[in-house]
């Protein structure tokens, strides 16, 4: 690959910002054709914008052809830098809005998966309160793994994260919101499905293959604490549910999420009085720089929604 050795990028213009936002959308949509609807521009224009950005940077950012869309190593690095740069630009815009005592711009919120079915999680209510308070703010709601949310809040990609508590960082501020009960489940084809397991203890389940989350989390902590033998790894609750449904693995799921599978006879909880743990969910924001007025307003709406009161 030929890399332009001269300084390909001088002062950034509004057009550069536009090209970077197009590039970000293309990466996150998985290709130019997929980004066409997201960006509301034709695929030929999307392609031209990516080519213009590559020319501007002196780099090849992606490969496109019969094998599909893929980032080059340089493209992956530019994507990471793009996220940091755009987060900084959005933070600047929010700071200007704050100086003017107005709430506008964008607010990126990241939520751990499978919280919508939790009856004590009132994130939707918080969003309703916030949109009435700040109708000019454009909301961007993401669902992501726990470690992705933490990292995204730390680097400014997300302004607010909602995660199960598992460890604390001095760079983040934590606000308690709601709880979640996790039970151990087996699928209909599992040997434990049709048995009486009321007298079972942890020693009785250690010889059964376990499916656990593949990153630091309460799920990983409890499985290591009780020495369950992990034979399969998932990276969200949906993947754990799929592994359980195979009938080959035990796994922990939120009771509210698993309820539909239980009612349809596809799963059952194994000794739920013992094989369980509770998760406390928190909202997280960066401590420094100080959260913007928009971020603080959304935090207040989260608290109000979970305390059953109106925002001031």
What CATH number does the domain containing 243 carry?
A: 3.40.190.290
Q: Is 95 part of any domain? A: no
Same domain, 40 and 148: no
The residue written with tokens 């009780």 in the block is 226
- Residue scoring higher pLDDT (62 or 189): 189
State yes or no: pLDDT of 8 exceeds 60.
Answer: no
Q: Is 233 part of any domain? A: yes
Mean pLDDT comparison of 109-113, 198-202, 305-309, highest-scoring range: 109-113
Same domain, 133 and 50: no
Same domain, 122 and 239: yes
Domain stop point among 29, 49, 84: 84
Range of the domain at 41: 14-84
Q: Where are the alpha helices (DSSP H) in the chain?
A: 14-29, 32-39, 43-57, 73-99, 123-133, 146-154, 202-205, 218-225, 237-245, 255-263, 293-307
Q: Is 250 part of any domain? A: yes
Instruction: Judge contact between 21 and 89, C-beta under 8 A.
Output: no
Give the pLDDT score at 100.
53
Same domain, 185 and 273: yes
Residue range 279-293: mean pLDDT, rounded:
90
Give the pLDDT score at 212.
95
Write the pLDDT tens digit of every residue in 219-276: 999 999 999 989 999 999 999 999 999 999 999 999 999 999 999 999 999 999 999 9
Same domain, 159 and 46: no
Domain stop point among 53, 84, 115: 84
Same domain, 309 and 280: yes
Q: Is 4 part of any domain? A: no
Give the pLDDT score at 4.
46
Backbone angles phi, psi at 92, to 5 degrees: -65, -45
Q: Is 6 part of any domain? A: no
Instruction: Judge contact between 230 and 212, C-beta under 8 A.
Output: yes
Q: What percent of the chain has pLDDT over 70?
A: 91
Q: Is 37 part of any domain? A: yes
β-bridge mates for residue 163, sequence order: 282
Q: Report the chain's mean pLDDT, rounded to a whole number.
A: 88
- Residue scoring higher pLDDT (86 or 27): 27
Same domain, 150 and 240: yes
Write the pLDDT tens digit of every residue in 36-76: 877 778 888 888 988 998 898 888 998 877 667 889 999 89
Domain stop point among 31, 49, 84: 84
Same domain, 67 and 131: no
Split into its structural domains, the chain has a count of 2
Same domain, 188 and 39: no
- Provide CB contacts within 8 A for 158, sequence distance 6+: 108, 109, 110, 142, 149, 152
CATH number assigned to the domain comprising residue 73: 1.10.10.10
Same domain, 242 and 146: yes
State yes or no: pLDDT of 6 exceeds 60.
Answer: no
Tell me the pLDDT band of 1, cut-offs 50, 70 and 90: very low
Cβ count within 10 A of residue 219? 25
């Amino acid at each position: 690959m030929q890399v332009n050795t001269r300084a390909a990028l001088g002062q950034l213009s509004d057009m550069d910002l536009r090209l970077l936002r197009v590039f970000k959308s293309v990466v996150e949509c998985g290709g130019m054709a997929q980004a066409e609807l997201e960006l509301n521009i034709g695929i030929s224009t999307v392609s031209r914008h990516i080519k213009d950005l590559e020319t501007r940077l002196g780099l090849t950012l992606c490969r496109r052809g019969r094998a599909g869309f893929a980032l080059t190593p340089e493209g992956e690095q530019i994507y990471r830098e793009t996220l940091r740069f755009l987060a900084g630009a959005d933070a600047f815009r929010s700071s200007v809005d704050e100086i003017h005592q107005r709430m506008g711009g964008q607010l990126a919120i990241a939520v751990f998966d499978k919280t919508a079915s939790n009856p004590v999680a009132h994130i939707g209510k918080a969003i309703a309160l916030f949109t009435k308070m700040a109708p000019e703010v454009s909301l961007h709601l993401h669902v992501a793994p726990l470690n992705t949310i933490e990292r995204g809040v730390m680097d400014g990609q997300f302004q607010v994260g909602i995660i199960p508590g598992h460890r604390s960082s001095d760079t983040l501020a934590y606000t308690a919101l709601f709880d979640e009960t996790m039970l151990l489940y087996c699928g209909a084809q599992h040997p434990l499905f049709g048995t009486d397991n009321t007298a079972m203890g942890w020693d009785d389940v250690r010889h059964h293959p376990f499916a656990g989350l593949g990153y630091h989390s309460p799920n990983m902590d409890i499985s290591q604490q009780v020495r369950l033998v992990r034979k399969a790894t998932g990276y969200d609750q949906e993947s754990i549910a799929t592994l359980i449904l195979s009938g080959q693995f035990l796994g922990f799921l939120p009771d509210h999420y698993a309820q539909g599978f239980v009612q349809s006879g596809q799963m059952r909880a194994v000794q739920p009085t013992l094989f369980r743990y509770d998760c406390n969910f928190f909202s997280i924001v960066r401590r420094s720089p100080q959260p913007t007025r928009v971020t603080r307003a959304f935090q207040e709406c989260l608290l109000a929604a979970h305390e059953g009161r109106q925002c001031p």
